[in-house]
Structure 1
Amino acid sequence: MQNLRVTISRNGMRATLEGRVDGPLDAETAEKIVRGRLQNAGITSGIIDKVVCDAALQIAGGEPVAPVVVARGEEAQPEIAEGVYLQVPSYAQADFPYGFGGFGSSTLSYYELLEYVAEPHIVQPGETVGSYEEGLNAHSGTTVKGEVITASSLRKPSPRVKELGDGLSRERQGSGITAAAAGIVIRAPESCYLLKVSLDGSFHLAVSQDKMRISADIWPAGPEGAQVEPDRLLDRLRDMQVTGKIHEPDIREAINRVRAHGLPVKGVCVASGIPCRNGRDGYIENLVNLDFSLRPAIREDGRADYHSVHVFENVREGQKLARLHPPTSGTDGTDVFGQKVSAADGVPVTLEAGEGVAVLPDDDSVYVSTREGHVHRRGPALCVDQVLRIDSDVDYHTGDIDFTGDIVVSGDIRSGFCVQAGGSICVRGVIEDAVVKSQENIVVFGGFVGQGKGRMEARLDVVLAYVRNQTVIARRNIMISGESIDANLCAGSRILMESKKTGIIGGRAVARDLIAVNNLGGASEQSTSVCAGIDFVANVHLARTRREIADLESTAQALAAELNRIRRTRTGTAAQREARVRRRAAIESQCDEGFKRIEMLKREQAELRKRQHTLDAQVRVLGTVFPNVMIEIASYTHVIHAPARQCFFFVKAGEIRRQSLTADS
């Protein structure tokens, strides 16, 4: 009776034989039986003849055959590339800042390393970090049934890197790779090297660009490392030949903090020079009033007195106008290495004698008027000019007017015309649907009336009698002696309408600090809106900064894409590679400048947002506020439903409140 079993492994690479055969047999017959069993099982390859013979002898002797491997397939050999195979954790060079520390040639402190790797794997000197494989070619294999296994059907391992860099070396015997010092293994695109790490406490000294200050970054020791000693840092300063003031108490205090808390301390000033003292710049002392205040006085009867408005400064012939003070000399200092730091002398200020102005013969620092007229600054010159006077209307007889100085119009400014001045504008008549722009102030003795096509803009103040259906914008104050009907008023500081005839009916009025008016709204309950506590100038600047930041960020994205393309490009001639290096440096420089500009704009935005709203703003009503008036202060809103007299509105406890002016006084 035959009870022999042949078992083939799941992967077909091994066959085992076990069992027994009853009856007396000779060795030759037993071997034929065994080989017949193998043939019946389909085994044609890798038969181990010696094992078959031994099994036949056991059967011939009447002994059972324990499980034994009688055939083995030939394993397929995948291709193994030549190169370095690391056995310890490694870190990609791209995870560190570009050009950081020069890598292989420098030593990093343990706490510097923690800024980039949370839990670094530190290899020790002489530790095996990997192996170098010479490489093997691929060949196919066969199963015990003769089935071919091709190497291409298997995954080929690939080496992490091809070359060894600083700090790593091959053993003289064998393929092992060892570390020359303590550190971490850095993996570059086609090489690896050791970035040395010091477990002892360390410090780094940085000399400021002007050499007036040396600051220290001090790091604590890593595991089982020695802490920094104050004398070690002081010796380093002496080796640097520092002759300035060494701040030894600050050094010792900083090192004690590092030891106590186990955290780095950065930016400690350890030495400083003696700063130079620059001279005072020259300056101009005005001997006449060049600060033109356009707010009119209010008479006892409540009307505005525009005769008191200081629009121009009239001077007489021979009158002293200004004195020019010369600059002073500076005092030199020394840097931390004892080198002289030259102080800058004060910069002289320039004041030219323009038309109608001369210097005194016996004192060339004093400027005097040579004629009567209006004194003002125009660029670097002090001038006494006859103001540009238009003794008629601005109409088709005059055309548009664009004058660098002050303008006085005796008549009206008709619809469709434009008047622009580098100085102030004074109109004794009325302004229709015209455009009037001034780099200083606008004073209109009449009104500003039209069909809503007129626009008035002043960099400083606007003073006028009344306005209807038009837009008035002033960077500082708007002062109106009469009514504002269906107008759009926008002031950077205040809207003042304090005479008894004043009132805002319809339209919208916006000011940052104060809106003071006699009557607000009308008996017909026309919808009227006043808004205080909003700085429209800040809003304009915010919009500009948003646009500029968006443009800079778009440019930065395009540059980053180009930089990535350059980094991926490896081929090309030497000239092309050099050109890529130059372009890469230019892009990185441009990106740095762009990011600095964005940061500056964001800081500017933060300051502008602080100015956008002010909760200290008020709306004052000297007469009556009528229903259907919407009052806004900053981001708060209040609608008037019933008339009220002599009151003011303000923000308190997150809402707009009303209080009597009598109680306020």
Structure 2
Amino acid sequence: MEAIGNYKLEVKISQDKLEAGIMLVIADQELGSQLRITETEVREVLRQQKITHGILDQVVQELCSNPAKFVNTYVTIANGTAPVAGKDGEIEYTFLEKNQDEKRPKELEDGRVDYYSITNIPNVAKGQLLARKTPPVPGIAGIAVTGEPIVPKAGKEAVLKLGKNVVLNAEKTMLYSAIDGQVSFTDNHKVNVFPVFEVNGDVDFSVGNIDFVGTVVIRGNIPTGFRVKASGDIRVLGSVEGAELEAGGSVEIKSGIVAQDKGQVIAGNNVKTSFIQNANVTAGNQVLVSQSIMFSQVRAGKQIICNGPKGIIIGGTLQAGEKITARVIGNTSATPTVLEVGVKPELRLELASINKELQIVYENLRKTDQGLGVLNQLLQVNGELSPEKKTMQIKLANTRLILEKEGKQLEARKKEVEAELEGDSPAAIDVYYTMYPGIKMVFGKLVRFIKQEFARTRFLVVNGEITTSTLV
């Protein structure tokens, strides 16, 4: 604050240094209109406060001509230049059709979803380019009102996640297939190419249970009691009863699931089918259903979408990390139905477990380094170590290498989990036609019981409360 005559000009710079304000401090406010302040005086005050960039000449002139406006009130007198954030790097999956979004189905204008617009992942040949990585674009530095550069937020590096039977080029920017087969996305969006095992009909006792390191295609049905396990995808052209299906990638069932509360379907990526009835279904990413979900236990890491022409959910418990969407939820009989969104318990538990393991690794590293330090001191003092001490030194050095490797792996996984949790969109439940009474909604720790009908409504949390808005 600079005193000039019987008044003071007080300058305040914002915390981000992108704005400076000036205020005229004077004992008698009425004297403000009588003051005579020169532009030279104002600019000297700014110079003393090191404000050199973005000075608003018009405000300086107004302060000189109309000081009363600035008495005991901060007025912006300089604006910095805000930095422009960098653009994140991207991964282009070249085996997918142009403009196809593999992760999300096409949403129509009326809110329904066209599941069949998702093209099946094609066969690829050995040596075929599967994905290319584009680097992040640097941001543009800003300028503070004090003339200092403001470092922009850097764009994040995209990560090509390698699965089975794929190779990178030397620059690690291109991903190629190492074999002929079918591409499959598995946990954490890893890209794999698997060989294909086909059953030309139903799974029966002549076929038996299937456990295949690749993608499995069933051209018929899978009855109750059978088990199909695949490292890649499982594709069933018929229906699934109370069987057990487990895929590292996605599960696609053309004619639906009627499980009679037996068996289960588990997918590392998506589960896509026409209907789910009395079944237990889990997907790491999305559950996509074109007709109905009835009296079932359904879990999805991100979304459960049941928004086809019928698109009805009745009974059971549905849990999704991001969103549950349907045309109709519940019925006129108020059948109890539980919808839970916004929580990824498995990821949060994993993160807590990783942090705990990292603490142990770092503590063991500290003790190992301490032991090696003592041995090095003995070596310096005595010039050599006894055979026992040499053996101990070798063991400690090997232990350190193992702990370092383990720590790096845990840190890498920690970053993946944190990125997935950080990328969460606000959780929501969308109903495009009618929601009936009898629904229990759970958003994290918040609970709401539906006691009246809602039409075309989105439910989401705003300021710690479950609120509604109309879907257009």
For residue 464 of structure 1, what is the aligned residue in structure 2? 273
Confirm or deny that 1:656 pairs with 2:458: no
Written as runs of structure 1 = structure 2, the 5 A alignment for 1:588-599 is: 590=399, 594=403
CA distance in 1, matches of 2:404, 2:129: 45
Written as runs of structure 1 = structure 2, the 5 A alignment for 1:97-176 is: none
Q: Give the superposition deviation at 1:500.
A: 3.9
Written as runs of structure 1 = structure 2, the 5 A alignment for 1:125-274 is: none
For residue 162 of structure 2, what is the aligned residue in structure 1? none
For 1:452-496, what per-residue CA distance to the aligned partner results, in whole angstroms no more than 9, with x for missing partners?
332222232211111123222222211112222232222222211
Letter in 2 for 1:485: M
For residue 533 of structure 1, what is the aligned residue in structure 2? 342
Q: Give the superposition deviation at 1:647.
A: 0.5
Which secondary structure state, in structure 2, belongs to the residue aligned with residue 548 of structure 1?
A: helix
CA distance in 2, matches of 1:303, 1:493: 18
CA distance in 1, matches of 2:432, 2:115: 20
Confirm or deny that 1:393 pairs with 2:207: no
Alignment match of 2:97 (pick from 256, 275, 289)? 289
TM score, norm. by length of structure 2: 0.56
Confirm or deny that 1:453 pairs with 2:268: no
TM score, norm. by length of structure 1: 0.41
CA distance in 2, matches of 1:395, 1:284: 40
Confirm or deny that 1:313 pairs with 2:122: yes
For residue 474 of structure 1, what is the aligned residue in structure 2? 283
Alignment match of 2:430 (pick from 620, 640, 643)? 620
CA distance in 2, matches of 1:347, 1:658: 46
Q: Is the 8 A contact 1:292 1:312 kept in 2?
A: no
Q: Is the 8 A contact 1:294 1:309 kept in 2?
A: no
Confirm or deny that 1:435 pairs with 2:244: yes
CA distance in 2, matches of 1:416, 1:582: 56
For residue 642 of structure 1, what is the aligned residue in structure 2? 452
Letter in 2 for 1:508: T
Q: Is the 8 A contact 2:347 2:417 kept in 1?
A: yes
Alignment match of 1:499 (pick from 308, 320, 323)? 308
CA distance in 2, matches of 1:287, 1:564: 53
Q: Give the superposition deviation at 1:521.
A: 2.7
Which secondary structure state, in structure 2, belongs to the residue aligned with residue 289 of structure 1?
A: coil
Distance change in 2, residues 1:654/1:297 (3 Å): closer
Distance change in 2, residues 1:380/1:308 (3 Å): closer
CA distance in 2, matches of 1:598, 1:285: 31
For 1:579-635, what per-residue CA distance to the aligned partner results, in whole angstroms no more than 9, with x for missing partners?
336626854884697489669847965874675484612110112222332222344
RMSD: 5.1
Identity %: 23
Q: Give the superposition deviation at 1:553.
A: 7.1
Q: Give the superposition deviation at 1:498.
A: 0.7
Distance change in 2, residues 1:644/1:300 (3 Å): closer
Distance change in 2, residues 1:584/1:516 (3 Å): same
Which secondary structure state, in structure 2, belongs to the residue aligned with residue 398 of structure 1?
A: coil
Letter in 2 for 1:410: R
Confirm or deny that 1:403 pairs with 2:212: yes
CA distance in 2, matches of 1:505, 1:450: 16
Q: Is the 8 A contact 1:536 1:612 kept in 2?
A: no
CA distance in 2, matches of 1:346, 1:546: 32
CA distance in 2, matches of 1:445, 1:577: 71
For 1:276-320, what per-residue CA distance to the aligned partner results, in whole angstroms no more than 9, with x for missing partners?
xxxxxxx999477397838666899998766544114379x9xx9
Confirm or deny that 1:484 pairs with 2:287: no
Letter in 1 for 2:201: S
CA distance in 1, matches of 2:438, 2:191: 52
Is the deviation greater in 509-518 or in 587-596? 587-596
Distance change in 2, residues 1:529/1:399 (3 Å): same
Q: Give the superposition deviation at 1:447.
A: 2.0
Letter in 2 for 1:525: A
Confirm or deny that 1:425 pairs with 2:234: yes
Which secondary structure state, in structure 2, belongs to the residue aligned with residue 464 of structure 1?
A: strand
Give the paired residue count: 337
CA distance in 1, matches of 2:193, 2:369: 51
Q: Is the 8 A contact 1:412 1:428 kept in 2?
A: yes
For 1:536-559, what per-residue CA distance to the aligned partner results, in whole angstroms no more than 9, with x for missing partners?
562363265256347647867997
Q: Give the superposition deviation at 1:399.
A: 0.7
Distance change in 2, residues 1:353/1:459 (3 Å): closer
The unaligned stretches of length 5 or more in structure 1 are: 1-282, 326-344, 356-373
For residue 322 of structure 2, what is the aligned residue in structure 1? 513
Letter in 1 for 2:461: V
CA distance in 2, matches of 1:308, 1:628: 34
CA distance in 2, matches of 1:612, 1:285: 23
Which secondary structure state, in structure 2, belongs to the residue aligned with residue 638 of structure 1?
A: strand
Distance change in 2, residues 1:561/1:653 (3 Å): same
For residue 68 of structure 2, what is the aligned residue in structure 1? none
CA distance in 2, matches of 1:323, 1:312: 11
Distance change in 2, residues 1:446/1:625 (3 Å): same
Confirm or deny that 1:630 pairs with 2:432: no
Which secondary structure state, in structure 2, belongs to the residue aligned with residue 487 of structure 1?
A: strand
Distance change in 2, residues 1:543/1:508 (3 Å): farther
CA distance in 1, matches of 2:331, 2:351: 35
CA distance in 1, matches of 2:128, 2:385: 66
Q: Give the superposition deviation at 1:419.
A: 1.6
Distance change in 2, residues 1:544/1:430 (3 Å): farther
Q: Is the 8 A contact 1:511 1:532 kept in 2?
A: yes
Distance change in 2, residues 1:464/1:593 (3 Å): same
Q: Is the 8 A contact 2:123 2:183 kept in 1?
A: no
Written as runs of structure 1 = structure 2, the 5 A alignment for 1:525-564 is: 525-536=334-345, 538-539=347-348, 541-542=350-351, 544-545=353-354, 548-549=357-358, 552=361
CA distance in 2, matches of 1:651, 1:306: 28
Which secondary structure state, in structure 1, belongs to the residue aligned with residue 354 of structure 2?
A: helix
Written as runs of structure 1 = structure 2, the 5 A alignment for 1:51-66 is: none
For 1:388-422, what per-residue CA distance to the aligned partner results, in whole angstroms no more than 9, with x for missing partners?
43222112121112334433322211122222234
For 1:129-150, what per-residue CA distance to the aligned partner results, in whole angstroms no more than 9, with x for missing partners?
xxxxxxxxxxxxxxxxxxxxxx
For residue 412 of structure 1, what is the aligned residue in structure 2? 221
Letter in 2 for 1:429: G
Distance change in 2, residues 1:353/1:597 (3 Å): closer
Alignment match of 2:332 (pick from 512, 523, 529)? 523
For 1:195-241, what per-residue CA distance to the aligned partner results, in whole angstroms no more than 9, with x for missing partners?
xxxxxxxxxxxxxxxxxxxxxxxxxxxxxxxxxxxxxxxxxxxxxxx
CA distance in 1, matches of 2:408, 2:173: 34
Q: Is the 8 A contact 2:291 2:307 kept in 1?
A: no
Which secondary structure state, in structure 2, belongs to the residue aligned with residue 482 of structure 1?
A: strand
